[in-house]
Chain A
Amino acid sequence: MSGECHDEVCITCSDQLLAMVVSDVDVPARIARGTIDGADVEVSIDLIDGVTAGEVLLCHGGVALQRGLPLEVGA
C-alpha cells in the first residue's frame, strides 16, 4: 500500500487502521483500489468478502481488515 506516514506516526508500527473509499475492485487479483487521505492506494481484500466500489474499508499494512462506516472518512 502506498501512503504517507503522518502526524509523526509510522502508520504500520502504530497499529492504525486507515479508512479507504473503494473506487474499483480487481476480483481475480484480490485487490481493491481507492484513496486514503487523497492518495491513491491499493490493498489486499483477501480477508473481506464481497467488497464493492463505494464502500469504506479499514486497512492496515496493505490489507483490508474490516469494513468501516462512512463516518470514518468524514463523509
Chain B
Amino acid sequence: MKFADEFRDADLARALGARIAAESGDKHWKIMEVCGGHTHTIFKYGIEDLLPSNVELVHGPGCPVCVIPMGRLDDGIAVAHEPGVIFTCFGDLMRVPGSTGSLLDAKAAGADVRMVYSPLDALKIAQQNPDRRVVFYAIGFETTAPSTALTLMRAKAEGIRNLFVFCNHVTIIPPMKAILDSPDLKLDGFLGPGHVSTVVGIRPFEFVTNTYGKPVVVVGFEPLDILQGVHMIITQIHEGRCEVENQYKRVVHDDGNPKALEVLSRVFKLRSHFEWRGLGFISQSALELQDEFADYDAEKVFSVPGVRVADPKACQCGEVLKGVLKPWECKVFGTACTPETPIGTCMVSSEGACAAYYNFGRYSRARERERVLASGEHSNGNGNGHANGAVAEHDLQPIPVQAR
C-alpha cells in the first residue's frame, strides 16, 4: 500500500537480505513470485540486489494483461469496430498489440474505445447511453472478477440491457499447476499472490504443498513483505516443513472473502479450457458467464472472429511467462520491443516482467549478464549468451493459426 513506510525501511531490508544470505548456504534457490504486482515491487525497489546471487526470483504468469493471447485481443478489437458500440476496458489493455494493431489504434481509427477504472463505470456509461451497446472487456484474476460480477448483478437487477461483458477473467491455480508440471523449470517455492488471496484465501494453494511438496508463502507488496516471504520459504525448507503460510495477515484472511466467492460462483462458471499466452490451453483456468447472464455475454451477442494468433516468432513472452528465460534474454528485448513499442504483452503492463526489467532492472540485468558470461552458460533464444540479437522483420509479425 502507498505510504506504508514501515514496510519500506531500507535498514531493515538490508538486514533481512543479510539474514537470507547467511541462511541460504550454497544451494541455488529458485523462488517464483506468481503475481505481477510482486514483480513490479521487486524491480522498483531493487529487491534482487539485496539478495545473495544464489537466491533467484523467477517471475511468474500473474500479470493479467500479459497472459491474454493475441487472438482474444483481436476479438475485442473486432467488437469495438461494430457500429454503435462503446467499448470499455482498463488502461493497460489499450496498448496491448493485437495482430493488426491495438485498441488505441482502433480508437484512432474511429472506434469509440474508452478507458474505465471499474466495470461499474461501464455500467454508468450504459445507463447514460441507452441507445448504444456498451461492451466491457473484462480481464484480471480473482481480485478483479468480483467487480465484474457485481456489475452484472446490478445491471440485471436494474434492468439494464445494453451492457455486455467480453469475459477474459482467469484463475490463478491452474497456471501454477501447469508450471509445476512443466519439465522446464525446477522451483523451490512460491511467493503467493497477496491480493488474489484476499478473495480466495490461502487454502486453494494447499495442492502445491500437498501434491508437489513446495512451500507457499502468501506475501504483501512492500519490499519487506517480499524479503520476509523469501526468508520464510528458506526457513520452511531448512526446518523440513512444507506449508502454506500467510505473511500478509494484515490484509489476507485464511478463508478469503466468502461473500466475494459467493458472488463469483453466482455469475461465473469455469470454462472447459482457455488459452494462456506462453502456457497454451489450460483446462478450467478461466471464467465465463453463467447461463443466467447469457444475455450479457458479448461472445454470444456479437460475432467474434475467434482466430487463434501465434505470437511473432521473435517474441519470447511465453518463455518469460514460464520463467524459463529472463526478459533480457529475449531476442527483441529493449530493441524492437520496448514499453513505447511493445511486441509482447510482457512489455506492455508495468507488472509484466519485461517492462519491469526495462524500467527498473538494468543493474540486475548487467549483474546477471556478468554471471552468465563468467559461467559460459546461455539460455537465451538467440543462442549466444547475449541479449538482443539481430531479428528479421518477418519474425516480428504475428502468425494466424486457426479458428478457435
Contacts and interface: CB of A to CB of B under 8 A. Distances in A.
Interface string B191-228: 00101101100000000000000000000010000000
A71 B143 CA distance: 21
A70 B64 CA distance: 29
14 contacts: A1-B117, A5-B91, A13-B92, A13-B140, A13-B349, A15-B36, A15-B141, A15-B143, A18-B1, A44-B120, A58-B1, A58-B198, A65-B143, A71-B6
**Quick one: which of A19, A60, A72 has the most chain B CB within 10 A?**
A60
Interface string A1-37: 1110101111111111111000000000000000001
B5 A46 contact: no
Contact of B119 (A19, A61, A69): A61
Contact of B198 (A3, A18, A66): A66
A10 B115 CA distance: 11
B147 A74 contact: no
A62 B63 CA distance: 19
A10 B90 contact: yes
A67 to B, nearest CB: 9
B93 interface: yes
Interface of B: 1-6, 35-37, 40, 44, 62-65, 90-93, 117-121, 139-141, 143-144, 146-148, 150, 193, 195-196, 198-199, 221, 250-253, 257, 259-260, 263, 349-351, 359
A12 B252 CA distance: 18
A72 B252 CA distance: 13
Contacts of A3: 117
Nearest to B39: A14
Contacts, number: 147
Nearest to B147: A61
A38 to B, nearest CB: 11
Given A3-B117, A65-B143, A68-B251, A74 B90 contact: no
Secondary structure at chain A's binding surface: helix, strand, loop or mixed?
Answer: loop
A8 B3 CA distance: 17
Contacts of A16: 37, 195, 221
**Quick one: which of A11, A17, A37, A74 has the most chain B CB within 10 A?**
A17
Given A63-B147, A65-B260, A14 B2 contact: no
A61 B117 contact: yes
Secondary structure at chain B's binding surface: helix, strand, loop or mixed?
Answer: mixed
Given A17-B251, A66-B198, A68-B1, A11 B150 contact: no
Nearest to B44: A7
A41 B91 CA distance: 18
A10 B193 CA distance: 17
Interface of A: 1-3, 5, 7-19, 37, 44, 46-49, 58, 60-63, 65-66, 68-69, 71-74
Contacts of A61: 117-120, 140, 143-144, 146-148
Contact of A14 (B150, B251, B349): B349
A10 B4 contact: no
A65 to B, nearest CB: 5
Nearest to A67: B251
A64 to B, nearest CB: 10
Given A46-B263, A47-B150, A47-B260, A12 B144 contact: yes
**Quick one: which of B119, B120, B148 has the most chain A CB within 10 A?**
B120
Given A13-B90, A15-B140, A37 B2 contact: yes
B117 A71 contact: no
Contacts of A62: 117-121, 147
B1 A15 contact: no
B193 to A, nearest CB: 7
Contact of B64 (A15, A44, A46, A68): A15
Given A13-B93, A47-B146, A58 B251 contact: yes
Given A1-B120, A62-B119, A74-B2, A69 B351 contact: no
Contacts of A18: 1-2
